[in-house]
A and B are shown apart, each in its own frame.
Chain A
Amino acid sequence: MIALAWRNLWRQGRRSLISLIAVAIVVLFAVLMYSMAGALTNGMYADLTKEVGNAQIHTADYRNARNFSDGLLDNATEIRDTVASTAPDAVVVGSLQVPGLLAGEDRSRGLAVQGQDWPELLREDFVTDYLAEGTFVEGDNISGIMLGQSLATALEVGLGDDVYVYAPGTEGYGAAAYTVEGILDFEDPRREINAAYLSLAAAQELAAPDALSRLELHYPDINTVKEDALIVPDIAALQNALGESTEVEVWRDLSPGLATMLNFLAPMMVIMSLIFFVLAGLLVLNTVYLSTLERIREFGVIISLGAKGRRIMGMVTLESLMMCLTGAAIGLAIGLGLIALGSNGFTMPGYAVEMMAEVGLPTVMYLSIEPWQILLAVGFAVLTAFFAALGPARMAANIEPAEAMRYTA
Chain B
Amino acid sequence: MKSALLTLTLLFTLGFASAQEDATSVIDRIIDNMRGESQIATLEMTVIRPDDEDTYTMRIYSEGEEKGLTRVIAPPRDAGQAFLNDGDNVFIYNPRLKRVLRLPPSGQSDSFLGSDISYDDLAGDDLRDNFEASILEESEESITLELIPNPDAPTPYGKVHLTAEKPSYAPTTIIYFDQRDTAVKENILSEYAEVEGRYIPQRFEVKDLLEEGNMTVVEWQDADFGVEIPEACFSQNALEREGVCE
Contact = CB atoms under 8 A, between A and B. Distances in A.
B101 A108 contact: yes
Interface residues of B, number: 26
A103 interface: yes
Contacts of A373: none
Contacts of A301: none
Contacts of A176: 96-97
B94 A166 contact: yes
B243 interface: no
Given A66-B208, A175-B96, A110 B104 contact: yes
Nearest to B47: A169
Contacts of A174: 78, 94, 96
Contact of A177 (B78, B97, B107, B113): B97
A295 interface: no
Nearest to B96: A175
A108 B214 contact: no
Contact of A169 (B94, B103, B111, B211): B111
Nearest to B111: A169
Contacts of B106: 109-110
Given A101-B103, A101-B107, A110-B104, A66 B211 contact: yes
A292 interface: no
Contacts of A387: none
Interface in B100-131: 101-104, 106-107, 110-115
A107 B102 CA distance: 7
A67 interface: yes
B88 to A, nearest CB: 15
A170 interface: yes
Nearest to A170: B114
A168 interface: yes
Contacts of A177: 97, 99
Interface string A169-192: 110011111000000000000000
A69 interface: yes
A374 B117 CA distance: 61
B241 interface: no
Interface in A218-256: none
A67 B114 contact: yes
A332 B12 CA distance: 77
A200 B133 CA distance: 48
A88 B52 CA distance: 36
B101 A164 contact: yes
A110 B97 contact: no
B114 A166 contact: no
A170 B101 CA distance: 18
A169 B107 CA distance: 14
A169 B52 contact: no
A175 B94 contact: yes
Interface string A78-122: 000000000000000000000101010011111000000000000
10 contacts: A66-B208, A67-B211, A67-B214, A68-B114, A108-B103, A109-B104, A110-B104, A166-B92, A168-B112, A176-B97
Pick the 3 closest A-B CB pairs, nearest first. A169-B114, A110-B107, A175-B94
Given A66-B210, A175-B97, 18 more contacts: A64-B211, A66-B208, A101-B104, A107-B102, A109-B106, A110-B103, A110-B104, A164-B99, A166-B92, A166-B94, A168-B111, A168-B112, A169-B115, A170-B114, A173-B96, A174-B78, A176-B96, A177-B97
